[in-house]
Every structure is written in structure tokens, then in C-alpha cells.
Amino acid sequence: MYIIKPMKNITALIVILLLSAGLAAAQDSLADKENEEDKKQPLRVTSQRMISEKKKLLISFYGDVVAIKGKLKVESDEMYVHTNEDQSDFKEIEALGAVIITRGDKVATGEKANYYSSTQQIILVGSPVLTQGKDVAAGEKVVYFFDTEDMEVYGGETHRSTLVLFPKEDEKEENVEKEATPRVSATFGKSGEKPASEENGDGAKKTDEQPAVKEA
């Protein structure tokens, strides 16, 4: 007669799996909380020049543009913010030229990016590259969803989809932010302020021709 005894190893394995599942759930819950907190934060944009066009519901920024909303940071040469009716909040951000998007340990680069507030989605084109630590994803178009942290990478005739993953290691990164010379700024959101149009000396709105929009 055989007597089957409980296996301590299996019991230990079950405990480890349960703990791992609990940790993963806690991390997901924390990520969801951070996303909700980011949504409540105002959008602050600084640049060397700003033009407000209320009829078009458009605020244009030129020269060393930096936009920050919660933990999200977008840097580019030019930026176009599409606003709501009273220009107190935004619907879409279009960034052009040397785009760098940073959120936590994730960094995305490309030549053009569109960020949609309602869907928490960024579409990046122009040799886009998304990195997280040592992991790298690249292609012809990268779509990233902040709410779910899902990612879509599309290849094309000139760029194939590429994904490189490394074993996880403890990494410490130091972010140093340099502040440029005289800048203008605008803040959008419940706690923000309505941005003002650029004006010349006699109080009239500047009619300087805007730089041509770059194509990805």
C-alpha cells in the first residue's frame, strides 16, 4: 500500500504564485491610480514663442518646446495644442521635430507625435523608437496607450518592426533638466489659466507668418 504525503515543494510553489499574483495586482492598481492622477493634472507648456488663435481653438508654440502633464513630458521643436471652446483645456497635442516623450522609465523619440487626451494615446512616426530601460521597440509607427500600457508597433517598406528585450536588472537613471533662456508658458486644465495671444506694441495681434509645419 502506498501512502501519498503532501509535497512541501508544491505547497511552497503555490504560496509563491499567490504572492506573485498579489504583487502584480498591486502594481496594476498603483499604475491605474497614477494614470488617474495624471489625468487630473493641468498641462503646462513652455517655449520661446507662443501664438493663440481662439477662432481655430489652436495654441501654437515654437522653439525649444516643453509640455508637462503629471509624469508625462513632451519635448519638440514645434507644438500645436488643440483646445476646447474656452481654451481652458486641451483635446490633442501635435508635436513636430526632434520629439522626445518621457514618462517614468519609458522614453519615445521620433519626428512627429500626436497625443489624444480622451484616449490617453500617443501615435509616433518618423523613425520612432520606444525604450524602457534596455528594452527597445522600433518601426515605422508606434502607438502607445497610457491607460493599459499596451503598445502597437507597425513596420513598413523602409522600417521593419523591431523588438529587443533584455533580462531585468536594477537600473538607476538620473534626469537632469536644463532651463533655457526667456520663455513663454501656458497652462491648461482646471487649475490652469487661459493662455494669452502674442501682441505687438500697439496691442494688436502679431501677424508674423508661422513656420511651415514639418511632415513626418
Calpha distance 90→112 (Å, rounded): 18
Kindly state whether residue 202 falls inside one of the protein's structural domains: no
At residue 161, the pLDDT reads 73
According to DSSP, the residues that pair with 96 across neighbouring strands are 78, 112
Q: Indicate whether 22 belongs to any domain.
A: no
Q: What is the pLDDT of residue 3?
A: 39
For the purposes of burial, counting CB atoms within 10 Å of the CB of 21, is it exposed (0-12), middle (13-18) or buried (19 or more)? exposed
User: What is the number of other CB atoms lying within 10 angstroms of the CB of residue 70?
Assistant: 17
How many domains does one find in the chain?
A: 1
DSSP line for 136-154: EEESSEEEEETTT--EEEE
Query: Is 167 inside any structural domain?
Result: yes
Do 199 and 176 meet the contact criterion of CB atoms below 8 Å apart? no
Pick out the chain residues at pLDDT < 50. Answer: 1-8, 10-13, 15-16, 171, 173-174, 176, 197-201, 213-216
Render the burial of 27-63: b for 16+ CB within 10 Å, e for the rest: eeeeeeeebeebeebbbbbbbebbbbeeeebebbbbb
Q: Is residue 159 part of a domain?
A: yes
DSSP 8-state class, residue 205 = B
The whole-angstrom separation of Cα 81 and Cα 184 is 15
20 is a domain residue: no
User: Could you tell me the residue range of the domain that residue 91 belongs to?
Assistant: 41-188
CATH number at residue 58: 2.60.450.10
Asked if residue 49 is part of any domain, the answer here is: yes
Res 86: pLDDT: 83
Q: pLDDT tens for residues 72-100?
A: 999 999 999 999 988 788 999 999 999 99
71's grid cell: 509624469
Beta bridge partner(s), residue 123: 114, 143
pTM of the model: 0.64
In a domain, 178, yes or no: yes
Tell me if 55 is assigned to some domain: yes
